[in-house]
Amino acid sequence: MNPHSRREVWAAIAIAAAALVLGLATTSLMAASGAFHMAGPAPWRAQGARCAAPAATGSAVDVTVWDTGRMMRGPNWPTPNNGHPGWYGMSMMRLVAHPSTVPAGKVTVRVINAGALTHEAIVLPLPAGQAAGQRAIGSDGRVSEVGSLGEASRTCGSGAGDGIASGAVAWTTVTLRPGRYELLCNVPGHYAAGMYAELDVAR
């Protein structure tokens, strides 16, 4: 091999080595900066909400609660309107859950308050033969929460609180066995006004 060819070979080797070193250095820098780390599940933010819920643990049920505004209260709370959302005083209210069926196991209930009033979402088992909206309502306008499996009533937080403020989200994670459950708002008068929905848990 003549000297000229030998210089070309060594030049090619030097270029390849430099490229390898540069590639290793770049990879190390990216790894140190976290560029290769897998991103965790994204938080859940309902459209128009002022805060976000963390990513769901297990299945997710997204609940929207809403009302038309001002509500009149009184000692004689009306009974549910044959299981359908209805009017109470001057406000129409509703609680909608999607999906309505989830597999058994951990379920994260994420609630967005799209109304003007404070609301909440409580998870209760449904007795055999009873439909959502058929619970007995007390003189205080509320239903019994005996047997509750969890609730989302903390503004921009998890678990129990003082209610979900307008435009905010709340969430709770529960473990559900196969069966029928009811999601409801138990602020006085709200259940009677139609704030309930059935949630079915499959095997």
Using the predicted structure, report yes or no on whether residue 32 has a pLDDT greater than 50.
no
At residue 92, the pLDDT reads 87
pTM (predicted TM-score): 0.72
Q: 65 - beta bridge partners?
A: 95, 113
Provide the pLDDT for residue 49. Answer: 78
Q: Is 14 helix (H, G, I), strand (E, B) or coil?
A: helix
pLDDT digits (tens, 9 = 90+) for 159-201: 999 999 999 999 999 999 999 999 999 999 999 999 999 999 9
pLDDT at 22 over 50: no
The more confidently predicted of residues 3 and 15 is 3
pLDDT of residue 17: 45
Q: State the pLDDT at residue 125.
A: 98
Q: Which residue has the higher pLDDT, 59 or 9?
A: 59
Q: What tens digit of pLDDT does each residue of 49-105 get? A: 789 998 998 999 999 999 987 554 444 444 444 434 444 454 689 999 999 999 999
Mean pLDDT score, 10-28: 42
- In this predicted structure, what is the pLDDT of residue 119? 97
Task: Give the mean pLDDT of the chain.
Answer: 79
**For residues 133 and 94, is the Cβ–Cβ distance under 8 A?**
no
Contact 58, 105 (CB under 8 A): yes
* Alpha-carbon span 47 to 54, nearest angstrom: 15
Predicted confidence (pLDDT) at residue 23 exceeds the cutoff of 60: no
Percent of the chain residues past pLDDT 70, beyond the cut: 66
pLDDT score for 50: 83
Q: What angle do CA 19, 22, 26 make, to 5 degrees?
A: 140
In angstroms, rounded to a whole number, what is the distance separating the alpha carbons of residues 60 and 46? 13
pLDDT reported for residue 70: 58
- The reply to whether CATH 1.20.1250.20 applies to domain 59-202 is no
pLDDT of residue 104: 98
DSSP assignment of 15-74, as one string? HHHHHHHHHHHHHHHHHHHTTTSPPPPPPB--TT-SS-BPPPSSEEEEEEEEE-S-----
Q: Taking 60 as the threshold, does the pLDDT of residue 117 lie above it?
A: yes
